[in-house]
């Protein structure tokens, strides 16, 4: 698998809607635990060493990383999720991704209305624009998850942000049937 935002976002989307067994009103702890398990298994399948905190342990900066060992050790992927729907918390967790050195950085966030999502993406671009320490080839993937209670659908939006915070590209925005509870 190549580490590209399109590939990672589509694999996550397929897992979430077809295999995760999650329901929208499940606890945030359940969501976080299943997301960590999923990305841990995906990392192992792709030949990386996933490192993440256990259920009751505190995390180091982000939820999970994929590590490449050997003499040239580095982090291939770093993932942080913020499922509280609070814009301030989302942006603080995005800053954690910015602070860590990894080739690809993935943020998974619950959001409220679409207008908040656009504002959050612009603020994320501002955060990226103000960074001093960057890897020349790092990539950012941001996935927003929203829920339409009337239709019982999850709405997923995925964005690819450039490392300088100057542009973003929406990879997809789609809705899918998803259980509420």
Sorted by where each begins, the domain ranges of the chain are 5-177
Dist. CA 171–CA 4, nearest whole Å: 11
0.85 exceeded by pTM: yes
**DSSP string of 142-170?**
EEEEEEETTTTEEEEEEEEE-TTSS-EEE
Is a pLDDT exceeding 90 seen at residue 167? Answer: no
Q: What are the tens digits of pLDDT across the range 146-161?
A: 999 899 999 999 999 9
pLDDT in tens, 38-67: 999 999 999 899 987 665 555 668 999 999
* Half-sphere exposure of residue 171: CA atoms within 13 angstroms, side-chain side: 22
Give the helix/strand (H/E) hosting 91.
helix 87-99
Residue of 76, 110, 104, 67 lying closest to 90 (CA atoms) = 110
- The secondary element (H helix, E strand) that includes residue 89 is helix 87-99
**Residue in this structure with the two tokens 């900066």, named with its chain if needed:** 61
Distance CA 167, CA 129 (A): 10
Task: Give the pLDDT score at 163.
Answer: 84
Phi and psi at 54, nearest 5°, equal -80, 175
Question: 3-state SS of 22-72?
Answer: CCCCCCHHHHHHHHHHHHHHHHHHCCCEEEECCCCCCCCCCCEEEEECCCC
Return d(Cα 34, Cα 16) in angstroms, integer: 10
């Amino acid at each position: 698998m190549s580490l590209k935002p399109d590939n990672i976002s589509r694999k996550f989307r397929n897992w979430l809607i077809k295999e995760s067994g999650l329901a929208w009103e499940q606890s945030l702890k359940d969501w976080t635990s299943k997301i960590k398990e999923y990305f841990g298994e995906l990392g192992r399948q792709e030949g990386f060493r996933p490192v993440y905190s256990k259920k009751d342990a505190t995390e180091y900066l982000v939820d999970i990383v994929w590590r490449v060992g050997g003499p040239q050790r580095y982090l291939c992927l770093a993932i942080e999720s913020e499922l509280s729907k609070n814009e301030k918390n989302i942006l603080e967790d995005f800053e954690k991704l910015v602070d860590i050195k990894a080739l690809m950085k993935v943020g998974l966030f619950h959001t409220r209305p679409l207008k908040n999502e656009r504002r959050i993406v612009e603020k994320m671009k501002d955060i990226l624009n103000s960074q001093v320490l960057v890897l020349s080839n790092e990539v950012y993937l941001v996935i927003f998850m929203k829920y339409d209670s009337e239709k019982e659908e999850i709405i997923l939006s995925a964005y690819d942000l450039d490392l300088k915070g100057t542009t973003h590209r929406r990879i997809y925005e789609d809705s899918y049937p998803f259980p509420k509870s």
